[in-house]
Amino acid sequence: SRIKAIKSVLATALSAVWNRKPRPTRIVVTDLATARRLLVRSSFSNRPPSNSPSAILSRRRYQNITSAPYGRHWRAIRHNLTSELLHPARIHQYAAARRRALRCLVEDLAHQRRMPNSVVHAAESIRYAMFGLVATMCFGDNLDGGHVRAMADAQRDLVRSISVARLFAEAKIPAVARLIYRSKWKKLAALRQKQEETYLPLIDSRCRHRQSSSSEPPAYVDTLINLQVPDEDEDDDDPAMLAGKAHYKPRRQRRLSDGELVGTCSELLGAGTEITASAVQWILANLVKHPDEQEAVRREINAFVAADAEQVGEEVLGKLEYLNAVIMEALRLHPPTSLAYRQVMEDDQGIHQVQGQRILAGTVVYFPLAALARAWEDPDDFKPRRFLASDDNDVKMMPFGAGRRVCPGKDIAMRHVSYFVANLVREFVWNEAHGDHAVNLQPHVEFFTLMKYPLRAHLQLARPEFKTN
């Protein structure tokens, strides 16, 4: 154990002295108007190199939409997502999958509430339901339940390992860092390996039996398998490309490699599950803390949905103004992605000044989304009504970011969040549990902003005359 201790002291000293890269200048923007002005500029279209496990392990060869530098590859994979899976005309095609996921979740919660101590562990149940739904959108129907759970666990382990990946990302000489932190590197590589082993058979089987039935909506993987992306090695000197012209066609194209396919699917599962499930939890947690607001949401739903209807249908969601106000207020107070950030690119319109400081190309600029959403009266209070009074131009927040890198999943995220919250409030009265199980609104900020103490509550059937389970 003494040798171990000496090794660990040596490792810390070594990494402190010569293994850290010099950091670029960093600036935090805390004023919403400035944030909006900057984020829509073309020079604010890039993020710093990604520190995700997949990017680090592939020595930044596997890029997904979030990690890809602004350019042709990013444009191709982002356009594929927004014009295929997330196209507004496609959203309804996954309604059956949403309904199935909701039914399983309601049954699970109803089952838990009948257990002896009756405290429902809602956080994990919501996350698994959301994961099953997004996995269907990603890989198609007919997924085996055990396989989905294995993927969900692998995904969570990868999210948890982000701080470890950062250690290697920040190393000046990566080979030395890999030597010093050999066991951490091995663990990281094993996680990624496990992910590949669970995803690749699904991708392969999709290649062989694509869209087994014509009624099945296309899966994300189908679009990725067919996707042609510009060849990395091609020169970036085409004038049409440089001018961002729509007719630009790269000379050489290629398909995504297996590693890129896994990384891009993992991005959809991560964004579609962790962030959305976290948003649902924050909303329900606030409704537990504010039973009067919860009752107002339920009253609104019951005014639009027949008492014996199986569910709050998706066609009703747009009419539920109070529910929407509650969702916006929770996103304002607890944006599940707490930070947007950019690495400034060269700009032909000159140098920016922010808060009296010159921003040069290469500077990393942070936009803390929760702090930017405080320009309201009583900013710490949960007051959904403020959104009933404001029109779109008046909405002083941006939980989905802004500019070219704005969240492409905004519409589907709002659909999933409102559908799940509406139905969960219609089925159950969410009451505060006591002692250690009481709702605690403290955040845990990592890659996403999760609840530090996952949501637990006492659930009571809201319409006992109609059997939930």
Q: Which residues from 206-265 bind ligand HEM, rule CB under 6 A?
A: none
Which is nearer to ligand HEM, 131 or 185 (by Cβ)?
A: 131
48 scored as a contact of ligand HEM (CB under 6 A): no
Q: Quick one: which of 37, 78, 103, 383 contacts ligand HEM (CB under 6 A)?
A: 78
Which is nearer to ligand HEM, 119 or 279 (by Cβ)?
A: 279
- Helical H segments across 161-246, by residue range: 162-169, 174-180, 182-208, 220-226, 239-242
Structure tokens given for 209: 């039996």
Q: How many residues bind ligand HEM (CB under 6 A)?
A: 27
Question: Could you give the CA distance from residue 269 to residue 155 in angstroms, rounded to a whole number?
Answer: 8
287 scored as a contact of ligand HEM (CB under 6 A): no
Least separation, in Å, of the C-beta of 403 and ligand HEM? 6
Q: 51 in helix, strand or coil?
A: coil
409 scored as a contact of ligand HEM (CB under 6 A): yes
Least separation, in Å, of the C-beta of 448 and ligand HEM? 9
Q: Which residue type occupies 82?
A: T
**Which residues are within 8 A (CB) of 8 and not within 5 positions of it... i.e. 6 or more apart?**
none
Question: Could you give the CA distance from residue 191 to residue 197 in angstroms, rounded to a whole number?
Answer: 10
271 scored as a contact of ligand HEM (CB under 6 A): yes
Least separation, in Å, of the C-beta of 57 and ligand HEM? 20
Least separation, in Å, of the C-beta of 279 and ligand HEM? 4
66 scored as a contact of ligand HEM (CB under 6 A): yes
282 scored as a contact of ligand HEM (CB under 6 A): no
51 scored as a contact of ligand HEM (CB under 6 A): no
Least separation, in Å, of the C-beta of 138 and ligand HEM? 9
Which is nearer to ligand HEM, 19 or 278 (by Cβ)?
A: 278
CA 110 → CA 88, 125, 420, 459, distances in Å? 33, 11, 15, 8
Question: Could you give the CA distance from residue 401 to residue 369 in angstroms, rounded to a whole number?
Answer: 8
339-376 in b/e form (b: 16+ CB < 10 A) is bbbbbbeeeeeeebebeeeebeeebbbbbbbbbbbeeb
Least separation, in Å, of the C-beta of 176 and ligand HEM? 31
Tell me, what DSSP letter sits at residue 275?
A: I
Which is nearer to ligand HEM, 119 or 401 (by Cβ)?
A: 401
Q: Among the candidate windows 253-261, 266-274, 318-326, 426-434, which touches ligand HEM by CB under 6 A?
A: 266-274
Q: Which of 81, 52, 48, 43 is nearest to 65 (CA)?
A: 81
Tell me, what DSSP letter sits at residue 222?
A: H
Q: What is the DSSP string of 277-346?
A: HHHHHHHHHHHHH-HHHHHHHHHHHHHHS-TT-SS--HHHHTT-HHHHHHHHHHHHHS-SS-EEEEEPPP
Question: Could you give the CA distance from residue 84 to residue 101 in angstroms, rounded to a whole number?
Answer: 22
Q: Quick one: which of 57, 354, 413, 457 contacts ligand HEM (CB under 6 A)?
A: 413
Least separation, in Å, of the C-beta of 110 and ligand HEM? 25
Q: Among the candidate windows 145-153, 295-303, 393-401, 430-438, which touches ligand HEM by CB under 6 A?
A: 393-401
136 scored as a contact of ligand HEM (CB under 6 A): no
Site string for ligand HEM, 332-361 (x = CB under 6 A): ---xxx--x---------------------
275 scored as a contact of ligand HEM (CB under 6 A): yes
Structure tokens given for 392: 């779109």
CA 420 → CA 101, 424, 427, distances in Å? 9, 6, 11
373 scored as a contact of ligand HEM (CB under 6 A): no
> Helix/strand/coil (H, E, C) string of 354-395?
ECCEEECCCCEEEEEHHHHCCCCCCCCCCCCCHHHHCCHHHC
272 scored as a contact of ligand HEM (CB under 6 A): yes
Which is nearer to ligand HEM, 65 or 105 (by Cβ)?
A: 65
Which is nearer to ligand HEM, 217 or 401 (by Cβ)?
A: 401
406 scored as a contact of ligand HEM (CB under 6 A): yes
Q: Quick one: which of 94, 131, 168, 400 contacts ligand HEM (CB under 6 A)?
A: 400
Q: 122 in helix, strand or coil?
A: helix
Q: Quick one: which of 259, 313, 408, 454 contacts ligand HEM (CB under 6 A)?
A: 408
- Alpha-carbon 224 to chain mean position: 19
Q: Quick one: which of 159, 268, 296, 312 contacts ligand HEM (CB under 6 A)?
A: 268
Least separation, in Å, of the C-beta of 459 and ligand HEM? 23
The contact set with ligand HEM (CB under 6 A) reads 65-66, 78, 267-268, 271-272, 275-276, 279, 335-337, 340, 399-403, 405-409, 412-413, 417
